[in-house]
Each structure stands twice: as C-alpha cells, then as structure tokens.
Amino acid sequence: MSNDPKTPPESSVMELIGGIITDVHLLIRQQLALSRHEIKSELGHAQSAGYLMAIGLTIVAMGSVLLCGMLVHLLALMAPQLPLWGCYGIVGAPIAVLGAILCMVGIQRFGNFNTATVGLTHDLKEKLDG
C-alpha cells in the first residue's frame, strides 16, 4: 500500500460491485418512499377538493330546488287556469325524466367498470413491498 494520499485505497472488484448493488437498492427504496409520499399528498389534495365539491353541489341543489319552485309559481301566474299541483307536475316531470336517464347511464357505466386493473395494481404493490 502506498503512503501517497492521492492514490485511492485498493479494493476488489467484488467490493465495488457489492457497493453499487447496495446503492441501487437504496435508490429504489428511496424512490418508492418518495412515490408513496407523493401519492399520499395527491390523495390529500383530492380529498380536500372532494369536500369543496360536495359543499358546492349541496348549495347548487338547494338553489335548484328554489329555482324549480320559482318556475312552478311563474307557470301558475302565467296560466291561472292550471291548478298549482298541475304546474308542479309540468315542471317536475321533465326534471324527473332527465334524472332517471342520467341514473340509468351511470348504472350502465358502473357496470362496465373494469375491476381487473384494480387487482393488478394491488398485486404489483404486494410484489414491490414483499
């Protein structure tokens, strides 16, 4: 061994390869930890956005009910020969039909939801964690 401080200490090729493998393993673990942290952060943002959307949709629903009531009374004012219950029926029937159509389309799309990809991602996570 040389006493010159500029010369690197002698090490075997196996020690170098072992160090590289250890470093790669450490980098993979750090990348997985970073990915988990980013996913948790994004889920937190999605959760807060979901809360805001739920509050907004509730307020929109309340406003829609009031507007429908306004339309009923406007129709009763414009056509005084119609009874009030008839005005409610005329305004409410198209809204109910539209809602039923949207529900049927949503049920149909939910039936087409592919749960196989959810299982694949769960299996992949288990393999990475194991």
By C-alpha distance, which of 96, 95, 89 is closest to 72?
Answer: 89
pLDDT digits (tens, 9 = 90+) for 29-76: 999 999 888 898 888 888 889 899 999 999 999 999 999 999 999 999
By C-alpha distance, which of 92, 85, 102 is closest to 65?
Answer: 92
- The pTM of the full predicted model, rounded to 2 decimals, is 0.53
By C-alpha distance, which of 104, 72, 100, 101 is closest to 88?
Answer: 72
Predicted confidence (pLDDT) at residue 129 exceeds the cutoff of 80: no
